[in-house]
Structure 1
Amino acid sequence: MGQRMFVGIRPPAHIREHIAEFAAARPDFPWINEEQWHITLAFLASVPDARHDELIERLADGLGRQVSPLVTVHGAGCFPNPDRASVLWLRIAELSGSLSALATSARHAANKSGSTPDGKRFIPHLTVARLKRPVSATRWLRILDTLTTDPWEVNEVELIGSYLGEGPAGRPRYETVATFQLVPPATE
């Protein structure tokens, strides 16, 4: 049996604090816990136990060659659509570098190590709410659309174990398994 994992980016503390302040002013919104905020690069439903070390080595090799992108929160969206939304998220805009390159590298490393990632198209986003049943989200999206953050440099990527039902209110509990440093951008 394998372990549920994902390769992701956790926003830095000052960005989480900014989003948390925005959230505190809107207590009627179905926010998920701040500890669960992340940008998923690759979701791995079942990493074989015997492949953990190989996955970590391949991620270190591939991600260790990627340049740190500069990103910001700008805009909002939802899955699957605004009329029947079940997940609300903040859009992550790339100012320089490429989150898509990080996602491609992470997915390639996972495939090579025998840990097949999901086949979903990569959309850079930070999930902030999960709804118990699909709803029309137009009002909430308008509110989320007003949130922007200062830019931040993504310096590291994490391999995170996900333990369903072990977190607050029956949510998943996340545990960092490994951290991978990215290449600093070139300075002129």
Structure 2
Amino acid sequence: MLRLFVGIELPESVRQALSLVREEHPAARWHGPEQLHLTLNFIGSVAPQVAEQMARALEAAPGPAFALQVEGVGYFGSPEQPRIFWAGVAESSPLRVLQRNLETRLLPLGLMPDERPYAPHITLARVRQGIPLQAWLQRYAQLSLPAFPVEHICLYVSRGGAQSVHYEVLQRFALV
């Protein structure tokens, strides 16, 4: 079984800029710059033959290239018990259209639709227990990076477990 998701690969300059918001804390596991991405559709565990079918569906799926801008930071969980620290992206109609189109193509192949509305974000850290949050949020609330072109999407595989996860690009699909 392969644990898959579809995402946007970030340029090196964006990954390096985002790595600067890291703050050492024993409860936070920060993603390394090489692991930063923006998830479009989480697929989950599928058999290799289903992964191949999904890859074929993605070849025909993409739409036009567009620009995306990283903006602001936030968290999932409560202020007392944050679970995920993330960087946000500026509102983008092309991003939302792409995400919905991909979901539509992948649903017949076994993608389980997410009950929550799509909330585009770049996971920066996973938190094992509550840590002081307000200072970090205030420090990076105005985070704004230059827009970057999104010219392809990727099918990723997630390898590893609870202690260490590694994301690997299986295939890239050009946006035209």
- TM category (shorter chain) comes to 0.7 to 0.9
Q: Which residue of 2 aligns with 1:17?
A: 16
Q: Is the contact made by 2:73 and 2:87 (CA closer than 8 Å) also made in structure 1?
A: yes
Q: Which residue of 1 aligns with 2:61?
A: 62
Q: Which residue of 1 aligns with 2:80?
A: 83
Q: Which residue of 2 aligns with 1:132?
A: 128
| Number of equivalences | 174
User: C-alpha deviations, 1:110-169, integer Å up to 9, x for none?
Assistant: 212223354332111111111111345222211221322111111111000001239xxx
Compared with structure 1, are the counterparts of its residues 172 and 78 closer, same or farther at alpha carbon in structure 2 (3 Å cutoff)? same
Q: In percent, how many aligned pairs have the same letter?
A: 28
Aligned mate of 1:104, from 96, 100, 103: 100
| 1:36, distance to aligned residue in structure 2 (A) | 1.6
Structure 1 unpaired stretches of 5+: 184-188
Q: CA RMSD in A?
A: 2.2
Structure 2 unpaired stretches of 5+: none
Mapped partners of 2:105, 2:132: distance in 1:
38
| 1:27, distance to aligned residue in structure 2 (A) | 4.2
Q: Is the contact made by 2:2 and 2:51 (CA closer than 8 Å) also made in structure 1?
A: no
Mapped partners of 1:83, 1:165: distance in 2:
25
| 1:28, distance to aligned residue in structure 2 (A) | 4.9
Compared with structure 1, are the counterparts of its residues 77 and 47 closer, same or farther at alpha carbon in structure 2 (3 Å cutoff)? same
> Are 2:168 and 1:175 aligned?
yes
Compared with structure 1, are the counterparts of its residues 149 and 18 closer, same or farther at alpha carbon in structure 2 (3 Å cutoff)? same
Q: Which residue of 1 aligns with 2:39?
A: 40
| 1:82, distance to aligned residue in structure 2 (A) | 2.8
